[in-house]
Structure 1
Amino acid sequence: MRKFVIICGTALAVAGCASSGGLDANSTAVEVRGELPTPDQAAQAIDMSEYRIGPTDKIRVSVFGAEELDREGLVDAGGQFQMPLIGAVAAGGTTPSDLSAKIADMLRGRYIKDPQVSVNVIEARAHSITVDGAVTQPGIYPVVGKMTLQQAIATARGASDLADTDRVVVFRTIDGTKMAAMFDLDAIREGRVADPQVYGNDIVVVGESGTRRFLKDTQSLTAPVLSRFIPVF
């Protein structure tokens, strides 16, 4: 009797069911946790050097030697901040030092030879998170009020078709210690585990399935082979 098998490329065999986006318990870069502690928002507010400016934040922009260009006001819902001469500046998702450099570049040469710009956050009304990995629209998004992990991924237009949704890693820094924990998005969606809250400055990374990536990258070349049974004697 003939037996039938499906042709499978060596690369696929190597990939197996493996997926990227896992979390190595032996990592020395971050402290791996089963769950992440809640950050102390008051302590975070002390050091604003790495704070990501978000919509409705109140900021003050000062241009040394050109006080007529100084401005204090709110970042609008689209993350824009209005400045004299140069108009709207994309402030959302930037740190104060990033925004200072951006405004200086826009003023340099055309308006001021060597502008010295400083940006200070007066009222931090919103925080931002970074959503990366296998999502439809990776980026930096504002956190206004409470936001859960599932909502954060939905903000990035959801997981992509390459996502390994049982391997979602959240990175968080508390008191200078970098921590990380991995969550199963499928279990959260099904109500089997709680949907954890995310906080400003968290980084969410959705893992990518190695097998799905391989199949997508090689589909045009291997689809006719993978879908055909051949006899094995």
Structure 2
Amino acid sequence: MVEFTDWDIFRNLALAARWTVLLSIIAFIGGGVVAGILLLLRMTKNVLLVGLVRVYTEVFQGTPLLMQLFLAFFGLSLLGIDIGAWTAASLAMTLFTSAYLCEIWRGCIDSLPKGQWEASRTLGLNYFQTMRYVIVPQSVRVATAPTMGFSVQVVKNTALASIIGFVELTKAGTMLNNATFEPFKVFSLVALFYFAICYPLTRYSKYLERKLNVAG
């Protein structure tokens, strides 16, 4: 039987934590890009495109991320597409994140006074000029804090990727627990690692909220 010291447990969890962070970054950046495209389509006057984006967001928001991970990993394999746990986790997390970011950003744009659009038309600005010079700069200010706040949820959601064999922080903790039979020690350290990742994001989100002072 292999003996694990406290340092061995800590070191292995630290190594796994980097994959949690990397998956979170991929999901957040990839989800942001997809969400931006969806938002542009959602704001068009094309009924079909608006309907498709609405269905997309409702499907990914209305179904568990766990099921989406299963479908990405096992579903694509059934279709003959060979996909690894890393790729499946990145794909599922990106699509899940994009649905929520799209709705967050759409809500921020909708929160702007309607007079901004009317004033832009009065000045002779077209739709794209209005978005670039008037709407987007203001909505970014409104959306920054909630977007950073949602990033904490993205980090915690990566724990579900362990179900398809992706070795991140939770999966590593489970494997170490099976080897050491010390669940309290192992999962206490896992919780501390998640806290160390999420707490700075939470504090930064609150800092941005105070700094931007959108409500004021």
Instruction: Work out whether the TM-score is over 0.5.
Output: no
TM-score (norm 1): 0.26
- Between Structure 1 and Structure 2, which shows a larger proportion of strand residues? 1
Q: Answer 1 or 2: which has greater helix percent.
A: 2
Larger Rg: 1
TM-score between the two structures when normalised by the length of structure 2: 0.27
